Structure 1
Amino acid sequence: MGLPVTVYRYTDAGAPQIVSGTPTEWINVLKKVLVEGYGAKSPLGWTLEFEDAGVRSVAFRNATTEGGSGGYVKFYSTDGSNTAYKTLGMKCAMGMTGIDAYFKPLWARGFTPSSNHKGWEIIGTKRGFYLILHYTVNTLMGLGGLTSDTQVYFIGDIHSVNINDTCPFTIVSASAQTSDVTSTSGITDYSGNTFSAQMYALDGSNTSSMYSFLKGHAYRNSANYDGNAESLGINHSMIQIYIYGVASQNNNQQLPFGRGFVPGLYISSFAGYRTESWPKELTQDTVKWVLLRSYVSPQFWISLGDWYD
């Protein structure tokens, strides 16, 4: 049975706001959404495990109920300061015993807010979520700017297709670098044609692989496509994004070629909506969908139907 999906936005009543863009403000957003709740909204259901407020560092764990792996993610100011628009590191691990003590850590990634990013959106479940920074100078779906204007990351358990996958926890970004890198590398960075996710072996052994996989069919990395599919009478064909490895993994039992799906993430056969305002949502076959903003032609959607089903 799948898990219900909740959408949290800075435009919600009672939502925490980004005013100065400091690490403390971003950590407060994460705490409110994942653990505490705000306004009339209940929290996502993660737990706060470790915190060092002095260096702006905090670690959360996903729920071990309903199939959750109990994986951890740490968010931290990259230099410990509370400077405005400081890059925040994101480091995942299969386990943690302290704010800087990891068991099976993954390569760190990061997000870099600017004075243009006063908005945020988190879409997810007890097991995994999308962290989305929003460009607030305008609210158009097609930003027509730089890759740094579109920062989206998935953090949590993938939807594994392997029975008894003990290490489904990861971060999905656009960077395949096998080292800690905290420069902007969100999954709507259209400068490349792949997503990446480092994952440990199915049996929990201390070996991992960087899965780098194509974004999907008919990927349109230009800003020349526009229009509204509904008004044009065009149906979306939604294809889920599959995580797969390299050919040498074909016979690998513990790091298999096919690992699973990025929960809720789909690419449509139609690209457009550049001049429409955020948020763009539609309902198709009784399922509600949220379109991700892009600096080219928006084509990626998050399903609000149950994940892990």
Structure 2
Amino acid sequence: MLNTKLKPVTLFSSNDEGAPVLSASAGSLKALLKACLVTGYGNKTALGWEMPFEEANAAVFRSQSPESTRFCFKINQPQQRVCTLQAFRAMSSLTAGTGEFGYTGNYQKFGLVESGRAKQDSWWLIGHDGAFLLMIGDNRGSEVAMLFFGDVPTVVPNDTGNCMFLHSSSSSYDYFNTSSLYFVTGGGSNRAYMGKRWDNTELGAECELHSLLAGSGLGATYPDKITGGLSASEVYIFERNNGLNLRGLLSGVYRTAHNLQDLPNGTSVPLDGTSDVFLKFRLGYSGSDNYFLINATQWEVNNG
């Protein structure tokens, strides 16, 4: 069973005073992550991560929380609009790491600025000192590219590998591939990765994401014709290791059953029974119904 507690998160966005601009230039996403995770900007305090290794267009980020796995996230962006993302259990330099987990080959590439554009007008980063979620809005206002890295709640006692790494983009960005294109819950086409397998084997674990609201019946009118509100459900992580096994929870992320296309990305959407702030995002690709809410107030984390 999941044994969790709630942890406050901080919302950073392109609308903040002094927020970094996500441009097509080499190194721009590294600079944005550095500002949100390490240095802060304007009146925003950073999440308290460290950056043990850095060059002009590349860096390694790592949580400093004693409760964290302290696994490493590397970004390298020597060219415009596209970067390479990698995850390691440990790194001794910017180019030397052990225990790599996650995407391989071209699937490591992440499109962050749309083709032909000099910058992206909107982005949001939400997180705490152990995990963060970045959303980059396309300039049509229809969908977002996203990146998640950090520790998640898990059903495994004394889990030492519960670091999640996933990303997705869209066909409007300068680079995308069909493996990391979709952030889909309910199907085997999506890919997400954990730092170790559930039995703590020193191998990365390929995972699927599932929600009670994935599948048929999606796309209901919002507000709901019967309740006048909205339905949302948690997103759970299933590890592909001798079958599909429940591993944990993608904290802060909720799948909705309703079509929220008329709400701009980043819009606050009320949920009954809570005063938490939930922001709407459309993750995936044009024509999909992958509408999600991201909790911008607090996330569940392992309790001990």
Instruction: Please tell me whether residue 217 in structure 1 is matched to residue 213 in structure 2.
Output: yes
Question: Match of 1:308?
Answer: 301
Give the superposition deviation at 1:220.
Answer: 6.5
1:139-162 residue CA offsets vs partner (Å, 9 max, x unmatched): 3xxx2xxxxx53112111121121
Which of 221, 236, 240 aligns to 1:242? It is 236
Q: Secondary structure at the match of 2:7?
A: coil
Q: For residue 130 of structure 1, report the CA deviation from its aligned partner.
A: 0.9
Counterpart in the other structure of 2:263 = 276
Q: Quick one: which amino acid aligns to residue 84 of structure 1?
A: Q
**Structure 2 equivalent of residue 17 of structure 1:** 21
Instruction: Name the amino acid aligned to 1:308.
Output: V
- Structure 2 residue 61 is the aligned partner of structure 1 residue 60: yes
Structure-2 change in CA distance of 1:187 and 1:307 (3 Å) = farther
The counterpart of 2:101, out of the listed 99, 106, 111, is: 106
8 Å CA contact 2:73, 2:85 repeated in 1? yes
Query: Secondary structure in 2 aligned to 1:164?
Result: coil
**How many Å separate the matches in 1 of 2:92 and 2:217?**
42
Residue 124 (structure 1) shift: 1.0
The residue type paired with residue 20 of structure 2 is P
CA distance 1:275–1:182, shift in 2 (3 Å): closer
1:94 touches 1:104 (CA, 8 Å); kept in 2?
A: yes
- Separation of aligned partners in 2, 1:186 and 1:281: 25
Indicate the RMSD between aligned Cα atoms, in angstroms: 3.0
Q: 1:227 to 1:280 in 2, by over 3 A?
A: farther
CA distance in 2, matches of 1:297, 1:197: 20
Secondary structure, aligned partner of 1:273: coil
Residue 70 of structure 1: aligned partner = 70
User: Could you give the per-residue CA deviations for residues 210-263 of structure 1, whole angstroms, max 9, x where no partner exists?
Assistant: 1224355244799xx47532797433332111111347247xxxxxx2210111
> CA shift at 1:201, angstroms?
2.7
Q: 1:133: how far off? A: 1.3
- State the Cα distance separating 1:91 from its structure 2 match: 0.5
Higher mean alpha-carbon deviation, 5-14 vs 225-234, is at 225-234
Matched, 1:170 2:159: no
Secondary structure, in 3 states, of the residue corresponding to 2:91?
strand
Distance 1:48 1:106, change over 3 A: same
After TM superposition, give the deviation of residue 13 of structure 1 in Å: 0.9
Among 279, 282, 291, the residue aligned to 1:290? 279
Partner of 1:132: 135
What is the percentage of aligned positions where both structures have the same residue? 21
Give the AA of the match of 1:289. F
Q: State the 1:10 CA deviation.
A: 0.7
Question: What's 2:86 paired with?
Answer: 91
The whole-number CA distance in structure 2 between the counterparts of 1:41 and 1:84 is 27
- Please report how far the alpha carbon of residue 204 of structure 1 lies from its aligned counterpart in structure 2 after TM superposition: 4.2
1:114-173 deviation line (CA, Å, top 9, x unaligned): 22734221111111111111112x43xxx2xxxxx5311211112112111001113124
**In 2, are the aligned partners of 1:73 and 1:91 still within 8 Å (CA)?**
yes
Residue 94 and residue 279 in structure 1: after superposition, are their counterparts in 2 closer, same or farther (change >3 A)?
same
Note the alpha carbon deviations across 1:63-114, whole angstroms, 9 max, x for none: 323x21111100002xxx3x332x1111011111111111211134332122
* Counterpart AA for 1:88: C
1:292, distance to aligned residue in structure 2 (A): 1.2
Can you give the 5+ residue segments of structure 1 that lack an aligned partner in the other structure? 144-148, 176-180, 251-256
TM-score, scaled to structure 2: 0.80
For residues 202 and 132 of structure 2, what CA distance do their matches in structure 1 show?
25
Provide closer, same or farther for how the CA distance between residues 16 and 205 of structure 1 changes in structure 2, counting only shifts above 3 A. same
Bigger fraction of residues in helix: 1
State the SS of the aligned residue for 2:277: strand
Cross-structure match for 2:172: none
Q: Structure 1 segments of 4 or more deviating over 6 A?
A: none
Check whether the contact 1:198–1:209 (CA below 8 A) recurs between aligned residues: yes
* CA–CA distance in structure 2, aligned partners of residues 307 and 249 of structure 1: 26
- With over 3 angstroms needed to count, the CA separation of the structure-2 counterparts of 1:239 and 1:58, relative to structure 1, is same
Partner SS for 2:159: coil
Task: Please state if 1:26 is matched with 2:11.
Answer: no
How far did 1:43 drift? 0.3
- Would the alpha carbon gap of residues 61 and 280 (structure 1) be closer, same or farther in structure 2, given more than 3 Å must change? same
Q: Is the 8 A contact 1:152 1:186 kept in 2?
A: no
CA distance in structure 2 between the aligned counterparts of 1:46 and 1:60, rounded to whole angstroms: 7
TM-score under structure 1 normalisation? 0.78
Deviates most, 195-204 or 181-190: 181-190
